[in-house]
Chains A and B, each alone.
Chain A
Amino acid sequence: MKVSVIVFPGSNCDSDCWHVMRDVMKCDVSYVWHKDHDLKNPDLVILPGGFSYGDYLRCGAIARFSPVMKEVVEYARRDGNVLGICNGFQILLEAGLLPGAMLPNRSLKFVCKHVWLRTENTGSTFTNRLKNGQVLRIPIAHGEGNYTASPDTLKELQDQNRIVFRYSSESGQVADEFNPNGAAEHIAGIMNEKGNVLGMMPHPERASEDILGSDDGRAIWESLLSCHSRESGNPATFSHR
Chain B
Amino acid sequence: MKTFNAKINVTLKKSVLDPQGKTILEALHSLGFQDASDVRAGKHFELTLNANNEIDAQNRVKEMCDKLLVNPVIEQYEISIS
Contacts and interface: CB of A to CB of B under 8 A. Distances in A.
Given A103-B17, A108-B23, A182-B19, A61 B74 contact: no
Interface in B12-67: 12, 15-20, 23
A69 B80 CA distance: 32
A65 B17 CA distance: 27
Given A101-B73, A101-B74, A65 B68 contact: yes
A173 interface: no
Contacts of A146: 19
B23 A103 contact: no
B74 A103 contact: yes
Nearest to A58: B71
A148 interface: yes
Contacts of B20: 104, 108
B66 to A, nearest CB: 13
Nearest to B23: A108
Contact of B68 (A61, A99, A108, A149): A61
A108 B24 CA distance: 11
Interface string A58-99: 100110010000000000000000000000000001100001
Contacts of A108: 19-20, 23
Interface-central residue, A103, A146, A182, by most chain B CB under 10 Å: A103
A11 interface: no
Interface of B: 12, 15-20, 23, 68-69, 71, 73-74
